[in-house]
Amino acid sequence: MSGQTGQPSGEQTFDVIVVGGGSAGAVLATRLSEDPSREVLLLEGGRVYAPDAYPDVILNSGRVGGDEDHDWGYSAATGQGDNRIPAPRGKVLGGSSAVNAGVALRARPADFAAWRAHGLSGWTDAEVLQAYKLLENTSAGDDRLRGRSGPLPIHQMEYDELTPSLRAFVDAFASEGFKRLADVNGSDQDGVTAYQLNVLEGVRQNTGMAYLTDEVRRRSNLTIRGGVEIDRVLIDKGVAHGVVAGDGTVFTGGEVILSAGAFGSPAILMRSGIGPAGHLRSLDIPVVADLPVGERLRNQPFYFNVYSLRPGELAMTPPGGALVWTASGEAAEDELDIHISATHLIDPAFSPTGGAIVLAVSIMRPDSVGSVRLGSRNPTDAPVIDYNFLAEPRDVRRMVEAVKLSRRVGAGEVFAKVAQAELLPGDGVADDDAALEGVIRENLASYEHPTSTVPMGGDDDEWAVVDSVGAVRGVGGLRVVDASIFPEIPSTATNLTTIMAAEYVVGRVYGK
């Protein structure tokens, strides 16, 4: 039955059911099935492709966000009036690792210190480093800090690999005094660097390929089923014993692990009766556990500072990229809270010259908190997502500061050698706080790194839904392992940390 799709045969009961085959779920299925005595079922809501049979929309690193066949079709309120924006999530084996920009950045030690402040046991710097090393296969950096033989290939982009305009971005920030970083996943992140990517020769290496290889899929104790959208967890006398799909199919197991992502996992929990009691009762869902599911959504606001490229400097391949990672004037101690990410992930027709570069500005540890709710009990209805961006004044101030930095360097002598004109916000927008706040609010996008909707925490953390290894409070046999359990959003892109978290939990709970 390994690697097949369709309905279960007979009354087979699995030792572990993993719901969601994305960045975390593919890791869990791979690692848990290393024990041949453990029967593992992986249920994926999207399509299941063989490792060498993914379509171009998934493989091509220049195509980000998938398409209608590989996306859940969610949207989110930004918190700016009635504005809504797409909230793309990968609906395919590999999950959002199959449709993202392939950025492979670790979180910083300061991020995990913030996690431990919520009362977590473990998650020490040494443990986290070991989990990061376990997942990666890279030639970059120091052997003491980097992994050489893990499943996920990570490539350090070299300066010479970048387009002329991306090189100008690096040079421009270096000329402003920003340090050139040799290994942003090493000991220092404050500066400017070419990206590290889980992209090889333009092919995005998603977890469905890197972890769930042909060899892994041939394991007799691993069953993978695609096109199975889960309604809820089956819970009897406070213990999970399976899941039921939207079409009524029941899958039974000794343990259930939800890895359906920062939107999917809380939605399944709430349909199962685990969530804020008032919200559940408003939908006539019997309350199993009154927990603050969906109450602490965190995400990073994004603003695109865009420039047309000069004739003769129009190269846009490879599309990514380079990064400035630094601290705002209001950053906490040891916090790097600004990203300015330079890519060519934009339609060249947007520029009158036929070439463009995006300097995408983000606040990485926002104070503002959003939410995920159910719109109905129907599992086919999208959850109600509100990012609530820029609700806190410090977020507004830091975002304006970061856009000012981007524009100042963008208008400087070094970058101007390749950039012909500023397209967004445009020369007509003054560089004062009020004007910039207005255009930022009107044009907010998302960095697409939602977290913290099912957060980990200690016994005294009022927002905790799960413990330090993802076990749901008050419900036996049920665990959540994906970005939803992060108690705070890391100050970086989140995909690598999601994969790491799955490696960490498997090692700590199952010894694998």
Q: Which of 488, 458, 483, 476 lies closest to 289, judged by CA?
A: 476
CA 21 to chain centre: 14
Helix (H, G, I), strand (E, B) or coil at 510: helix
Neighbours of 352 (CB within 10 A): 11
Residues written for the chain: 512
Q: Which residues of 178-207 are buried (b: 16+ CB within 10 A; e: fewer)?
A: beebebbbeeebebbbbbbbbbeeebbbbb
Q: Which of 68, 58, 60 lies closest to 99, judged by CA?
A: 58
Helix ranges, 62-163 (H): 109-116, 125-135
Catalytic residue status for 279: no
The strand pair at 191-194 and 320-326 is best described as antiparallel
Rounded (to 5) percent helix, strand, coil in the chain: 25, 25, 50
**Cα 209 from Cα 95, distance rounded (Å):** 11
Cβ neighbors of 14 (< 8 A, separation 6 or more) are 39, 40, 41, 223, 251, 252, 253, 254
DSSP string, 202-262: TEE--HHHHTS-HHHHT-TTEEEE-S--EEEEEEETTEEEEEEETTS-EEEEEEEEE-SHH
Q: Which of 462, 454, 510 lies closest to 482, judged by CA?
A: 454
Q: Which of 90, 143, 107, 15 lies closest to 504, judged by CA?
A: 107
**Cα 354 from Cα 347, distance rounded (Å):** 9
**Cα 164 from Cα 315, distance rounded (Å):** 7
φ, ψ for residue 484, nearest 5 deg:
-65, -25
Nearest-5° angle of CA 510, CA 153, CA 186?
A: 85
Helix (H, G, I), strand (E, B) or coil at 421: strand
Catalytic residue numbers read: 449
